[in-house]
Amino acid sequence: MIPLMKNAFLNEYETKKALAEFILQASRLSMDAECLKFERKFAEYQGRKEAVLFNSGGSANLAMLQALKNLGLLKEGDKVGFSALTWSTNTMPIIQMGLVPVAIDCEISTLNVMSHNLEARLEQTELKALFLTNVLGFTGDIERIQTICRERGLILLEDNCESLGTELPCGKAGNFGMGASFSFFVAHHMSTIEGGMVCTDDQEFAEMLRIVRANGWDRNLTAQQQHKWRQKFKITSEFEAKYTFYDLGFNLRPTEITGFLGQYQMQFLDQNIKCREDNYLRLEKLVLQNDDLVPLNHAHINTLSTFAIPVVCKTPQLRNQYLARFSGAGIEIRPMIAGNMQRQPFFGKYVQERYELPGTDFLHDNGFYCGNYPELSETDLETISSCLYS
């Protein structure tokens, strides 16, 4: 059996041992110094001014949209474009925030929204924001997308939960929008068991994210930020400030375990990204020789930090054959994430508007993926290779 992921952590035993020792000596396990240290380390790694840690990538997505509403940058009824090929908790928060999700088609060869897909949608529909997903470690032509958003006054957010480490000549995936989310769930590029992050260069946005993350209060802000909020609402005593709630929030806090694990796992991150890229490029050679399969285009990407090994067949019949082949070889497989989001039951219940999405439909009907991680042995890679011949 080749599962989607073999271990919860990179360097599993060493990490669990360090975690056990950390827990034994820690005087506090709820969000505190370790979370802050991880935030600083991750912001530096990503090359962003601010990083705000959450208990999951889905929470990070929800918090970004709530923060934009709290800041008055989005309001109920505003249309938010999203990559039609994405994960449920990218699109669900758009609905949960009373915003209107507008699906944007993805190109088959890059798995992603391209600037021409966005331009085509903007011809029919006015958008206030674009919540772009960088799918499975691949990206579209994000620099051009960023320019379109800037020119048209659209807020750009990136869901980078699947693409930590991917780098284009013009910058890292996750550094193109006002904010970007990351996931540290097991099987992602690094794991804190559960966990997520938002990176941003916008200090006001980061401040609001910290308010949204913890009940709407100011406890996790700097003294200067607290002073500003307390002055604005005439909160004069520390006693009253403890239970003063300034804007809408949730409890989406991580724990010190998340903070500790994040810092610890980061030491293995570059090695993991390199290994995933090497695995993908090795297997891709077979895909390029196989007429049953669609070659994927990543010529615009310098570092391809793949989340998984995506396979796109030319027809649904061929996909059936390849699904049977992979399953028969004991390789765990999954659909191409949530496929065309418009075809998901929850979407049908809450959203009226539908758009033509030929590229995403093709990926929905013809795509699948298997796991990609450093613990794949030579035998595992040989087994996957044996399924990729025509």
Ligand X SMILES: Cc1ncc(COP(=O)(O)O)c(C=O)c1O
**Of 165 and 221, which CB lies nearer to ligand X in the complex structure?**
165
State the minimum distance, in angstroms, from the CB of residue 133 to ligand X. 5
Rounded to whole angstroms, the Cα distance separating 16 from 111 reads 35
Q: Does residue 310 bind ligand X (CB under 6 A)? A: no
**Of 134 and 221, which CB lies nearer to ligand X in the complex structure?**
134
State the minimum distance, in angstroms, from the CB of residue 5 to ligand X. 12
**Of 246 and 260, which CB lies nearer to ligand X in the complex structure?**
260
- Residue 53 backbone class (left: φ over 0; alpha: ψ -120 to 50; beta: rest): beta
Q: Yes or no: say if 20 and 272 are a contact pair by the CB < 8 Å rule.
A: no
Interface with ligand X (CB under 6 A), residue from 9, 42, 57, 298: 57
The torsion angle over the Cα atoms of residues 252, 61, 5 and 314, rounded to 10 degrees, is: 160
Q: Name the nearest CA neighbour of 312 among 137, 123, 107.
A: 107
**Of 10 and 235, which CB lies nearer to ligand X in the complex structure?**
10
Interface with ligand X (CB under 6 A), residue from 91, 183, 200, 340: 183
Rounded to whole angstroms, the Cα distance separating 98 from 248 reads 14
The torsion angle over the Cα atoms of residues 140, 142, 148 and 150, rounded to 10 degrees, is: 150
Q: Yes or no: say if 218 and 229 are a contact pair by the CB < 8 Å rule.
A: yes
Interface with ligand X (CB under 6 A), residue from 162, 256, 292, 361: 162
Q: Are strands 129-133 and 155-159 parallel, antiparallel or unpaired?
A: parallel
Q: Yes or no: say if 51 and 174 are a contact pair by the CB < 8 Å rule.
A: no
The sign one gets for the Cα dihedral 317, 318, 322, 328 is: positive
Number of residue whose CB is nearest ligand X: 57
Site for ligand X in 122-151 (CB under 6 A): 133
Site for ligand X in 194-233 (CB under 6 A): 196
Interface with ligand X (CB under 6 A), residue from 159, 167, 218, 380: 159
Choose the binding region for ligand X from 57-65, 238-246, 265-273, 346-354 (rule: CB under 6 A): 57-65
Q: Does residue 58 bind ligand X (CB under 6 A)? A: yes
How many chain residues are in contact with ligand X, going by CB under 6 A? Answer: 15
Choose the binding region for ligand X from 86-94, 110-118, 148-156, 203-211 (rule: CB under 6 A): 86-94
Q: What's phi and psi for 288, nearest 5 deg?
A: -65, -20
Q: Which residues would be at the binding site for ligand X (CB under 6 A)? A: 56-58, 61, 86-87, 89-90, 133, 159, 161-162, 183, 185, 196
